[in-house]
Amino acid sequence: MPVPEIAESFTGSVNRVTLGTTKEHGGTRTSTVTVGGARNMVYGGSPDDAGEKPVVAMDVLDTRPDDWPDALIEPYRNVLDSPGDWAKKCVQEFGAELICVKFEGIHPDKGNKDAAHAVKVTEELLKAVGVPLVLWSCGYDEKDNQVMPKVSGAAKGESCLIGTVTEDNYKSLTAIALADGHFLITEAPLDINIAKQVNILASDMGFPLERIVTFQSTGALGYGIEYAYSIQERQRQAALAGDKMMAMPAICDVGYESWRAKEAKLANAPGWGDVADRGPMWEAATATCLLQAGVDIIRMRHPRAVAAVKNFINEVWQKK
């Protein structure tokens, strides 16, 4: 029986985004990262349609985490108090292509650190590593609006990926990110309609659609991953159908979400296997699943999970 021809041709594609400004172009980055460009679904069509390889952004926190399980603390034991050393370790030892600094410590409930602290961390990271940076707010609107514009300014001209902006809080960070030459992350709460609306709102402020990366929110394996999966898939389909308001590359937060799962961190769980393995496995499984739905940048935490996922990416996205 002949195999039916099911190749579909699409009119649209995912935008290509290049993060990081090198010295020749007035920045200080030693490498850049390009994502996006897919012209088909993952695994669909010819390898030429697959676009750029997805990349892993490894998380670094601005302050020492106080709620991480031992398995996650272990690889970073000596660097948790120094974001610069932490980032260096991720790049040099674990092969991180991007560093994502999460400004957890500025949250009123988690340290309430000020803008000067966040600026200092940003400058430290820019000095410590040459890869492009992702600068991620704490999620408390009032505090983010005070601090993130300063963070943006501290990395001016470096073409960082900065966010997140939401439907209810987008104006100040969108404006400053545009002025400072960054890329913007638009966030939606697993809601495709709001996701589109935030992109429209940012675009209405003059922010170029080609400089936006979307964050649809992430659910880990066992904790809503099917919602995240179907939204990522829908976003990709809309991009391929030519919807310019949905044609952005996507970022997801696998590290944080996976390590919230009790399966990833509960030590005393007979029959579940060694807790030292479970967390990295949970994180790697969540990441590979979402990669197949069509995400471009994955925030991750555990080096073993990162290694497994990078291996998966290299197997699937064979460089032409």
Partner 1 sequence: MIIIAERINGMFTNVKQAIADKDKKVIQELAKKQTEAGATYLDVNVGTAAADQAGAMQWLVETIQETCSTPLSLDSQKTAVIEAGLKVINAENGVILNSTPLNKKTDDEIFDKYMAMANQAGPKASIIVLTMDKNGVPQDVDTRVAIAADAISKAMEKGFDTQRLFIDPIILPVKVPNAQVQPGNILAAMDQIRYLSEPAPHMTIGLSNLSQGATERSLINRVFLAMAISRGLDSAIVDVLDEKLMSVLATAEMLMNKQIYSDSFLKVYASMNE
Partners of residue 252 on adjacent β-strands: 298
Find out whether 195 and 188 touch, Cβ atoms under 8 Å.
yes
Phi, psi (deg, nearest 5) at residue 179: -65, -35
Residue with smaller CB distance to partner 1, 196 or 302: 196
Residue with smaller CB distance to partner 1, 174 or 286: 174
Residue with smaller CB distance to partner 1, 31 or 197: 197
Binding residues for partner 1, total number by CB under 8 A: 14
Find out whether 54 and 313 touch, Cβ atoms under 8 Å.
yes
Q: How far is the CB of 272 from partner 1 (least distance, A)?
A: 40
Q: What distance in Å separates the CA atoms of residue 132 and residue 42, rounded to the nearest whole number?
A: 25
Q: What distance in Å separates the CA atoms of residue 176 and residue 182, rounded to the nearest whole number?
A: 9
Q: How far is the CB of 240 from partner 1 (least distance, A)?
A: 13
Interaction between residue 243 and partner 1 (CB under 8 A): yes
Interaction between residue 238 and partner 1 (CB under 8 A): yes
Burial (CB < 10 A; 0-12, 13-18, 19+), residue 92, is: exposed
Q: Which residues are within 8 A (CB) of 96 and not within 5 positions of it... i.e. 6 or more apart? A: 56, 57, 58, 87, 90, 131, 306
Tokens of 304: 């073993």
Partners of residue 169 on adjacent β-strands: 166
Burial (CB < 10 A; 0-12, 13-18, 19+), residue 160, is: buried
Q: How far is the CB of 316 from partner 1 (least distance, A)?
A: 27
Tokens of 154: 């501290």
Tell me which of 244, 275, 292, 304 binds partner 1, using CB under 8 A: 244
Residue with smaller CB distance to partner 1, 21 or 217: 217
Tell me which of 107, 150, 234, 304 binds partner 1, using CB under 8 A: 234
Residue with smaller CB distance to partner 1, 155 or 202: 202
Torsional class of 20: left (φ above 0), alpha (ψ -120 to 50), beta (otherwise): left
Tokens of 273: 């296997």
Touching partner 1, residues 192-231 (CB under 8 A): 192-194, 196-197, 200-201
Residue with smaller CB distance to partner 1, 157 or 242: 242
Find out whether 88 and 120 touch, Cβ atoms under 8 Å.
no
**Segment near partner 1 (CB under 8 A), from 16-24, 122-130, 238-246, 308-316?**
238-246
Query: What is the contact mask toward partner 1 in residues 160 to 199, using x (rule: CB under 8 A)?
Result: --------------------------------xxx-xx--
Q: What totals of helices (H) and strands (E) does the chain contain, helices first?
A: 11, 10
Q: How far is the CB of 11 from partner 1 (least distance, A)?
A: 10
Q: How far is the CB of 196 from partner 1 (least distance, A)?
A: 4
Residue with smaller CB distance to partner 1, 114 or 243: 243
Interaction between residue 250 and partner 1 (CB under 8 A): no
Would you tell me which residues interact with partner 1 (CB under 8 A)?
192-194, 196-197, 200-201, 234, 238, 242-246
